[in-house]
Amino acid sequence: MKKIIGLLFAVIVVIALGFAGWLLLGRDPTSFASGSTVALGDYQAGTVSGVPGQLASADIVKHGEYLVHAADCQACHTAHGGTPFAGGFAFNMPFGTIYSTNITPDKETGIGNYTDAQFLAAVHRGIRADGERLYPAMPYASYTYMTDADVLAIKAYLFTLAPAHSPSKPNQLSWPFDQRSLLSLWSVVFNTDERFRPNTSQSPQWNRGAYLAEALGHCGECHTPRNLAFALDNHHKFAGAVTAGWHAYNISSDKDSGIGDWSDEDIYLYLSTGHANGHGGAAGPMGEATDDSLSYLVPDDVHALVTYLRSVPAHASDLPRTVTTAAPASHKEGVADIDSRGEKIFAGACASCHDWTGVSPVTGFATLTGVRAVNDPSATNVAQTVINGVNRTTADGRIFMPAFGQGYSDDDIAAVANYVTARFGAEGAHLTGKDVANLRKQAAQQPHPPEAHHG
């Protein structure tokens, strides 16, 4: 009897631990889709990994160049105003600051001495050439799904770059997060170290989109919430999260707070250009992702991403449904209990481009009507855009908005962000100067606030 009781107890413990692990870890990023998966080499329905057909006959360096864009390597490995790929970009985390490393082929400070095996270990498993663990600010838990061939094509391209002598900046982390040895345990629990497996019940286009989104584009690293161990919680896949002081919004199929009510063309245009009529333009990290990565993808690959995003189950977030109607043409109408300080700042610095209606007379990129950030009661991205401005290069030309972070105080920025969300959005924000100061600290590369107040 004691043996039976002991066995039952052991079974209960195992089940409980398994369930707890399932709750903690979340699921495989594509496990929401029905059907069975196979090894990539056994999938015969279409091309999933690698480059699109237009580049199939190109050499490995050209393959790598396309994949470097698809994986958005430059954005994180380039400091503000620095040499591309030379590292130094700051990730401000709740537990300190992590700096990206130099991935040019410099032999002293970059990856010039990396062998193929060492480069694969870094990308798939987060292990440096010296055996030390990389922090998962480098998204190796997503890159692990890349094929060896794609990783080595990326290496081939990076090794054609001019070497940049740029020593790594020391991370500034609090204890125990400064203990790299703990990352071994983190990787055992949260990094599958497995390559992408196509789903035989889904279309070739879906599988290509899944590979682009999960293995290369690592969309979930910004758009999926994290658990207590800072690993992706795929139970709430693409439901939105705050990363480095910016809100990466819900891109699940939820119709109210996600992209469920966007047309395929809207999603395609937003991904490929960073703008879609009625939904506004991308700024901050999403603007960089568009300019440095998504805009380089061929149309078929962007359509594949649309197909995959459409399939992600709806996850509601706490954002209200987006207001899509323009505000009144007169500044005297439309908002009760107006913050006069915010209105004055908007009149002097914003109205000429954004208009009192929110429909820009200058460019659709500056239209505020229908923009998710304006309908976010936290006003996180509105404040960050005011602080950092917008400076994007698109097929339609340069999209520029001045950065007001040095010209206006924290209280000024809070006031105008509150006014913008109240006038053009679903619900006015209630930011304070202290909130804005905190947002400045969270942003990866931000200007310092001025001493004097304005307005």
Residue 172, beta-bridge partner list = 97
Please count the other Cβ atoms lying within 10 Å of the Cβ belonging to residue 7. Answer: 10
Sequence-distant contacts of 174-183: CB under 8 A, at least 24 apart: 174/95, 174/96, 177/95, 177/96, 178/96, 180/132, 180/133, 180/135, 181/133, 183/126, 183/133, 183/134, 183/135, 183/136
Sign of CA dihedral 132, 137, 140, 146: negative
d(CA 360, CA 67): 36
Q: CA–CA distance from 416 to each of 34, 249, 348, 352, 370 (Å)?
A: 47, 21, 11, 15, 18
In which region does residue 204 sit, left (phi positive, over 0), alpha (psi from -120 to 50) or beta (all else)? alpha
Sign of CA dihedral 315, 316, 318, 321: positive
Here the tokens at position 75 are 């954005």
350 is in an annotated binding site: yes
- List, in order, residues 6 or more apart from 313 with CB less than 8 Å away: 32, 237, 252, 253
Helices (H) and strands (E) in the chain, counts: 17, 9
In which region does residue 425 sit, left (phi positive, over 0), alpha (psi from -120 to 50) or beta (all else)? beta
223 is in an annotated binding site: yes
> At CA 437, angle to CA 436 and CA 440, rounded to 5?
85
80 is in an annotated binding site: no
Burial class (CB in 10 A: 0-12, 13-18, 19+), 240: buried
69 is in an annotated binding site: no
d(CA 276, CA 203): 26
430 is in an annotated binding site: no
Q: Write the DSSP symbol of residue 211.
A: I
- List, in order, residues 6 or more apart from 388 with CB less than 8 Å away: 283, 284, 403, 405, 443, 446, 447
219 is in an annotated binding site: yes
d(CA 120, CA 111): 12
247 is in an annotated binding site: no
Terminal CA-CA length for the chain: 80
Residue 133, beta-bridge partner list = 127
Q: CA–CA distance from 225 to each of 91, 183, 250, 255, 317 (Å)?
A: 17, 20, 10, 19, 11
The backbone torsions φ and ψ at residue 123, rounded to the nearest 5 degrees and listed phi first, read -75, -40
Annotated binding site: 73, 76-77, 219, 222-223, 350, 353-354
Annotated binding site for heme c: 73, 76-77, 219, 222-223, 350, 353-354
